[in-house]
Structure 1
């Protein structure tokens, strides 16, 4: 039986999906007894799938693109043989033989060539690079419960979405309606949906301590009589809606007019891939009032809260793949926001700026 690049990649994808599904259904994901390397094997399988799919795309453009050394005498000899015999057989038919040793490019070079030829975005290349690093990490060091599992889930889920958005479309065969990935396409979408829920919940657990202080700070406003009195003199009151737990990641603040009508609302939107919570008016376009960077908060950095001088309109900020507020704080952008510590005084300043 001859294993072709694409079919081999599909097999790796299937294996990865099975391992990932087993991991997601575990009740205790940190117990080494009940978790016999499911996530590790999923990472290895998905990484192998990405490499094979990438080499397939390169080979379809030019079959020489997947080989490391174009001066290799064996490779050149095979090409000469094809030319002399006029046989229209792909090079990999010859190279796959156990009697021939011709090296193909490694994963890093494969991604480099694919990125240039297919004009991949920085985000797509970053996702592919991250999978290579995670694969090396779990292969050489394994997984331990002290590792931040949400970070691995985030990168794996990005990779699966890349298979749907990029590889699926580009691996279609011209003139053929049926796609080799079609039989598992819906199952893959379902797996991604479940995995993203797990990613979010895992991220919430990891940053649970971080969320306690924002919850406490918002709640403390309800007991700040001076602040409430000053708002009343201006014709406003407010209400705070928190989750059932002290570390809830969902926070809503409503500024109310005398009639009880909502004048302004601030809602938390969590972005695990950016390790941040963005406080906006609740729409996909903002406006954005401030951001808490949990990766800095957990390291006890003072400037972990970014407050905008003027609420920022930012269309579809939920899909951003970089911390745009770090650019907004730079001088070249006119310092749209400033970094500080999140506390009650700064929260009051933010609320007062809404009036």
Structure 2
């Protein structure tokens, strides 16, 4: 087929008319606050994909954010591929709508939570969930291959590889002296939200969690006596302290034994008998794999166990300890649900 060329003069006239019409249209839109959204400024393309979160203004990029040690980090565009090399903050990250994430796991990938029913909906929202390390060991080669838009790290947890991380991508360090990353998930998420331009998304999540806790407290208002949360391992059992499991005590209107104040203690059966709580939660770390051992199985055969108040009144409850005693909003939400379900029976 032969292409037919317009005469040069005609083509020039068409181009001139198009330029005039476009200029008039832009002028009209700039004076019309209710103008068509298709004529909005190009910065709107940096808005988050979460509809109705009201982040259009806050999501403007580039933006400069604070990093530990007084450093400032410039984020050129809204991150879509985010790498987190602090193994303890995965739950906070999984509450954000991103395209892809890379994470380090507390244990091995085989032992990880990624395949559990609780986490499946969170994992499914991403195009990719790439594992780039275990605990404090980060696979820098895998991280480089992942090619993140931004890296999130801990000032203490990842201090030994700080320089290497910065060479791979812009890296923001959460100041672990200023933020207790193990208990203050709201503070961690607030900092993540500022990096991603999703501040309003964070507020919504925190408000929802606060409402859930308040509702749970009302549902548990009739519970009396001391409540003990036990972390059940294969060869040890620990009384969860208020320093790490405080969300399950005062905010829910429940009373801990005095031995649970602070970080808690490792227990013997005789030690548990001395505490003799009214309610006992057995937080099994073999909850999803009964082929693994649990020390409480031995205790339950003892006459000392059978004489406990909680045992005699049928107020001993089994929960998933690996989930409930984990760090972050996913653990706290599910742990609260499990506690309410047990104590309302």
TM-score, normalised with respect to structure 1: 0.26
- More relative contact order, 1 or 2 (CA 8 Å, 6+ apart): 2
TM-score, normalised with respect to structure 2: 0.27
